[in-house]
Structure 1
Amino acid sequence: MSGLFGGTTAAASNAATATQGSITNDIPINNPPEDSIQDLSWSPQSNHLSVASWDNKVRIYEINGEGQSAGKALIDLGAPALSTCWSKDGTKVFAAGANKQVSMLDLGSGSTTPQVVAAHDAPIKCVESITVNNSPMIVTGSWDKTIKYWDLRQQTPAASVQCKERVYAMDTRDQLLVVATADRWVEIFNLNQPSQPYKQIQSPLKWQTRTISCFADATGFAIGSIEGRCAIQYVEEKDASSNFSFKCHRQNAPNTRDQSNVYSVNSISFHPVHGTFSTAGSDGTFHFWDKDAKHRLKGYPEVGGSISCTDFSHDGNIFAYAVSYDWHQGYSGNNPQYPNKVMLHPVIGDECKPRPNSKKR
């Protein structure tokens, strides 16, 4: 896409090698959150971005074709905001957090007053928009070890499902819902039968789950752990031969030959058009991958701080990533000078395109 964010395809190509990408044209959003950024979500219909932060707020920004941002709305939960998502039609923004509730702001109505639409007995870690039996709904995952389905026309949940442990991460695509909990459990749901898991498995990774993300074609998911690994996992047994895991977000330790510093994989996002995906981590880097070719497409330089969360815009032309402290070194690793910003990376040329000979799934 020529001219995106003022750069050109040729300029981007000149600034990067075959596998080394450039962040030269990346632009920060204006007036970012004031504390650690927990979640990002693009509208599925337009270039509007919601950002959830530990400063208790979910902010909604409008992004123009030059990458310039303007704040449009705000939801204040009164407690850390842990998750945000949009309705399928892009008119409503949802904010979930440590106040054990989900608030909805109806942008389509012009209202500035959020409405509480869901509640749990413990902080809500995840909220996602879904469609069940052609009805728009949301699903929430909590540290109270349940997920709940909510029809926004009702005050009580349409269904509640007991999970094996506290919900740490969740994602959905089409009729696939994947829920990652403590103790490395993954619960897989078919939204045609949402009240019971289709499958329950333990993560193929040996360490605590940090993030989970559905493939663009909803045939499986990618999962990332605190131990610098990512696994590609298909739902059906007939595809199990295509499952694999790989190391990422590791750096050679100084003055050693065979030791690595290992960093958490904080976020995985799938490109909505090409089906390729990104990983981002505590090492402050992000990478684009082709799972079918088992190949890294691009790696990017360190951005100056941990990357806590990421998301592709609805058309795949913008990759948003949050640079903020993710607490991987505990309290002692934080300081007032630590960056806290959301960056917009223009996806240019073949950065996210699969290798020409990779199989399509």
Structure 2
Amino acid sequence: MTSNHFPVATPPSDAISAVKFSPVPNSSKLLVSSWDRNVYLYTVQPDQGSPDQKTCSLLQTFEYRAPVLDVCFGANDEEFYTAGLDWDVRHTKATTSEQTVLSTHDAGVKSVVYSKEHSLVISASWDSTLHIHQATSPSSPPAVIPLPSKAFTVSSTTTKLVVGMASRAFHIYELSDLAKAAAEAATQSSPTTIDVDPYQRREGSLKFMTRAVATMPTDSGYASSSIEGRVAVEWFDASSESQSRKYAFKCHRQTVDGVDVVYPVNALAFHPIHGTFASGGGDGLVALWDGVAKRRIRQYPKYGSSVAALAFSADGRYLAVAVSPGFEDGKDEIAEGSVNIFIRELGPTEAKGKGAR
């Protein structure tokens, strides 16, 4: 089976900041956040006119006070959390559209993740803090964890949180330590600053500003990308043997009129079953990589604009690709029709590693 590729109906009207599939098994719901101050909830389903084909239809739209920079599902696909330029971290019930503010940072909130294992909502802000919220007591004040610099991107496993920051700094936290901090803060009357020592402090392997980070589904490491067309793959294990395995490689570059043009790698996403990963760049390309074999599996046809975000579905069957113009497109205004989301239905072996076919 070759992959089935189709557009999402009714995409956002402004740049896309994040795409996230539901973590619920067999659910094909998709959340999309945008600079147009909305979050969109879609679902992938068979095409009524052609059952062998799929469509992705809009179910609902949720409006916010400011551009939404990130979104993630909560414990199920009927609730989600947002991070925005209004500085708020919000919980939204999809069934009623009811919004609740969990906390307010002192600057824009760049990222938000949910940990099912610890019932935590973790937000990361340009105010150089993490807010750790107990999802089971949304009215309780959060723990405020100071960071050495602005947070740009976060990703979590079942046990760890990876925070990519300015100055190429990375902090890796044990989620159990953050859960203890959240429990302590919940006993207070207002947000409480709590110093939590990271499990590890690292300097990024790439020379330029971090753009994205994604953790491995095996809970063993992560990949990070930069604005300068590179991806690094690293492991949590601090032993010299594991650290000797880390590496970085060039990607999302093109030769134009004899000149090597380098694009930012805006998005990374690991396949939940096979452990391979996808990268999306400012060159409008999406590639699949085998991080263990250090090889590219395949590269898909070029999109019309920069790839802004990527997400695999929980069962690994679908890959969502968000396309919207970036600064590398050289245009101040977003042209009508240039913001799109495409769903790729993957074949059984399409995302398998080189040695796993």
Q: Report the TM-score, using the length of structure 2 for normalisation.
A: 0.88
CA apart distance, 1:236: 1.6
Counterpart selection for 1:49 from 20, 30, 33: 30
Corresponding residue number in structure 2 for 1:176: 160
Q: Which runs of 5+ in 1 are unaligned?
A: 1-8, 13-21
Q: Tell which deviates more after alignment, 29-38 or 155-164.
A: 155-164
Corresponding residue number in structure 2 for 1:339: 338
Corresponding residue number in structure 1 for 2:268: 268
Letter in 2 for 1:188: I
Corresponding residue number in structure 1 for 2:193: none
Letter in 1 for 2:268: I
After the TM superposition, which residues 241-256 of structure 1 pair with which residues of structure 2 at under 5 Å, given as runs?
A: 241-254=244-257, 256=258
Letter in 1 for 2:127: D
After the TM superposition, which residues 301-320 of structure 1 pair with which residues of structure 2 at under 5 Å, given as runs?
A: 301-320=301-320
Aligned residue pairs total 329
How large is the RMSD of aligned CA atoms in angstroms?
1.7
Corresponding residue number in structure 2 for 1:6: none
Corresponding residue number in structure 2 for 1:125: 110
Distance 2:103 2:158 in 1: 22
Distance 1:335 1:62 in 2: 26
CA apart distance, 1:111: 1.5
Alpha-carbon distance change, 157 to 202 in structure 1, aligned in 2, over 3 angstroms = farther
Q: Deviations over 1:199-252 (max 9, x none)?
A: 111110000000000011111110000000000011122210110000000011
Q: Secondary structure at the match of 1:353?
A: coil
Corresponding residue number in structure 1 for 2:49: none
Distance 1:101 1:170 in 2: 17
Distance 1:335 1:68 in 2: 25
Q: Deviations over 1:86-126 (max 9, x none)?
A: 1133331112110111222223xx31222222321111100
CA apart distance, 1:73: 2.4
Letter in 2 for 1:317: R
Distance 1:44 1:221 in 2: 19
Letter in 1 for 2:122: V
Distance 1:272 1:350 in 2: 14
Corresponding residue number in structure 2 for 1:140: 123
Letter in 1 for 2:93: D
Corresponding residue number in structure 1 for 2:169: 185
Corresponding residue number in structure 2 for 1:280: 280
Q: Secondary structure at the match of 1:64?
A: strand
Counterpart contact for 2:37–2:66, Cα < 8 Å: yes
Counterpart contact for 1:77–1:103, Cα < 8 Å: no
Matching of residue 233 in structure 1 with residue 234 in structure 2: yes
Letter in 1 for 2:256: A
Counterpart contact for 1:288–1:351, Cα < 8 Å: no
Corresponding residue number in structure 1 for 2:56: 69
Q: Tell which deviates more after alignment, 222-231 or 148-157.
A: 148-157
Q: Secondary structure at the match of 1:246?
A: strand
Counterpart contact for 2:306–2:329, Cα < 8 Å: no
Distance 1:229 1:166 in 2: 21
CA apart distance, 1:135: 4.2
Corresponding residue number in structure 2 for 1:164: 148
Q: Secondary structure at the match of 2:54?
A: coil
Q: Tell which deviates more after alignment, 273-282 or 73-82.
A: 73-82
Counterpart contact for 2:103–2:142, Cα < 8 Å: no
Distance 2:33 2:338 in 1: 16
